Amino acid sequence: MNDCPFCLLLEREPNAQRFGSVFAVRDDFPVTPLHWLVIPGRHCLDYFDLNAMEKRDADRPFSTLREDVLRRDHEVAGFNIGWNCGTAAGQTVMHAHGHFIPRRIGDADDPRGGVRGVIPARQHY
C-alpha cells in the first residue's frame, strides 16, 4: 500500500532483519531500550490476517531477538510480546506488527499483571 508507513519503512530500511516472510526492525518510538517490531512483508491488517507461514515466521525473530538483547543488556529481566489488533486495542498503524519489549527491574512501579495493564483498573487481581 502506497501510504502505509510500515510498507514504506520495509522498502527503505536497510537494517531490517529478514526472517522468511517477516522483518524485525527497531521501534522508532520505543517503550524501553531495544524495543523491536516484527512486521510481515505482505501488507495485512493485524495478527488475525496473517497466513500460517507468516505466523510461523513471526515466531522466529522473538527467540533470536531475545538472545541478542540478553547478550547486549544484562539488565533485561523479562519481556512483553504483543500484537494490537484494531483501534479499540490501541493499534495505530493498520499494518500487522508485533511488539517485542525488553523489561528491566524498576522500569514500572508495579509490573504485576503485565499486559493486563492496558486497562489499568484490571491490571491487578
Q: Has residue 23 been placed in a domain?
A: yes
Q: What is the mean pLDDT of residues 30-37?
A: 96
Split at pLDDT 50, 70, 90, the class of 124 is confident
pTM across the whole model: 0.92
Q: State residue 76 phi and psi, 5-degree precision.
A: -70, 130
Q: Which stretch of 38-42, 104-108, 113-117 has the lowest confidence by average pLDDT? A: 113-117
Per-residue buried b or exposed e for 7-40, using 16+ beta carbons within 10 Å of the residue's own CB: eebbeeeeebbebebbbbbeeeeeebebbbbbbb
Q: Which domain does 28 fall in, by range? A: 1-77
Split at pLDDT 50, 70, 90, the class of 1 is low
Q: Has residue 27 been placed in a domain?
A: yes
Q: Has residue 107 been placed in a domain?
A: no
Q: Are 29 and 74 in contact (CB under 8 A)?
A: no
Q: Has residue 106 been placed in a domain?
A: no
Q: Has residue 88 been placed in a domain?
A: no
Q: Has residue 118 been placed in a domain?
A: no
Q: Are 25 and 39 in contact (CB under 8 A)?
A: yes
Q: Has residue 54 been placed in a domain?
A: yes
For 53-90, the pLDDT digits (tens) are 999 999 999 999 999 999 999 999 999 999 999 999 99
Nearest to 67 by CA among 108, 106, 34, 23: 34
| Cα separation, 48 vs 105, whole angstroms | 32
Q: Are 66 and 76 in contact (CB under 8 A)?
A: no
- CATH number, position 48: 3.30.428.10
Number of domains forming the structure of the chain: 1
Q: Has residue 116 been placed in a domain?
A: no
